[in-house]
């Protein structure tokens, strides 16, 4: 009787674990699908444009975009720094996805020169750029930091390749740095225009674009650095 009770409890626990794993899988698949759609809309892309290209996702997080791209036969290498502090080998969704843990400030040390056709960075530049806090000076200017990041990506891009990156948070911080008295009332269009002028003074091969969205508020600015054809 005791053995039957133990066996039943064991079967119930196994069934529960299976259901929880399935739920986690469903949640991850939902997340990866959402992330992929956000990428495509944010950077004004569609899957057909990515076919046959080697793509680098900088600040990839849980690699949701790469996972969905893989299902469509598109090659994406995920790159992030934060996940170096987590048990990557135990995180099932990463299995089968090329994932590099490293520092984007030294991107060229992780990849071959001219390895990628396209690099994407969604919501990541805000972590790479250090803005002054409480009027304290910074060691390296924002301009030098930005130029360094673009140069690092340029080295791993093929001739004619693109680096597409959004302006989340750092555009506002940049505007506030230069126009502190007007920062509270600034529009996203003003931030984007100011950011473009600033970026082009650093690198003339950067252009401003707007992502797709169902509403005007969903359409957000992004930038494209186009590597000159050599």
pLDDT given at position 93:
52
Question: Which of 176, 174, 192, 193 shows the shortest CA–CA distance to 184?
Answer: 176
Backbone angles phi, psi at 47, to 5 degrees: -60, -35
Domain CATH number, residue 34: 3.40.50.150
Q: Is the pLDDT of residue 40 over 80?
A: yes
pLDDT given at position 33:
62
Q: Is the pLDDT of residue 28 over 60?
A: no
Comparing 40-49, 106-115, 127-136, the range with the smallest average pLDDT is: 127-136
Comparing 14-28, 75-89, 111-125, the range with the smallest average pLDDT is: 14-28
pLDDT given at position 172:
92
Q: For 118-147, what is each residue's pLDDT tens digit?
A: 999 998 999 999 988 866 777 899 999 999
Name the more confident of 180 and 42.
42
pLDDT given at position 14:
56
pLDDT given at position 84:
54
Rounded mean pLDDT, 203-229: 90
pLDDT given at position 192:
96
Q: Is the pLDDT of residue 17 over 60?
A: no
Read off the pLDDT band of 45 (50, 70, 90): very high
- Structural domain of residue 173, as residue ranges? 2-226
The answer for residues whose C-beta is within 8 angstroms of residue 209's C-beta and 6 or more apart is 44, 221, 222, 223, 224
pLDDT given at position 63:
86
Name the more confident of 117 and 214.
117
Overall domain count for the chain: 1
pLDDT given at position 185:
86
């Amino acid at each position: 009787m005791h053995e039957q009770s133990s066996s039943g409890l064991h079967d119930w626990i196994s069934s529960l674990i299976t259901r929880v794993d399935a739920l986690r899988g469903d949640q991850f698949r939902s997340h990866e699908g959402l992330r992929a759609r956000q990428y495509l809309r944010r950077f004004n892309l569609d899957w057909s444009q990515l076919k046959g290209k080697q793509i680098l996702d900088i600040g990839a997080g849980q690699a949701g975009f790469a996972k969905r791209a893989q299902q469509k036969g598109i090659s994406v290498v995920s790159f992030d720094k934060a996940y170096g502090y987590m048990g990557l080998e135990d995180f099932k969704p990463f299995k089968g996805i090329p994932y590099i843990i490293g520092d984007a400030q030294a991107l060229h040390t992780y990849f071959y020169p001219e390895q990628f056709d396209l690099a994407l960075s969604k919501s990541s530049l805000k972590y790479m750029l250090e803005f002054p806090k409480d009027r304290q000076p910074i060691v390296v200017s924002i301009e030098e930091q930005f130029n360094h990041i673009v140069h690092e990506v340029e080295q791993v891009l093929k001739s004619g390749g693109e680096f597409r990156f959004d302006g989340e948070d750092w555009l506002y911080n940049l505007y506030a740095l230069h126009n502190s008295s007007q920062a509270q009332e600034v529009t996203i269009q003003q931030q984007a225009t100011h950011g473009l002028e600033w970026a082009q003074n650093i690198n003339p091969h950067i252009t401003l674009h707007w992502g797709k969205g169902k509403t005007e508020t969903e359409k957000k600015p992004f930038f494209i650095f186009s590597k000159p054809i050599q």
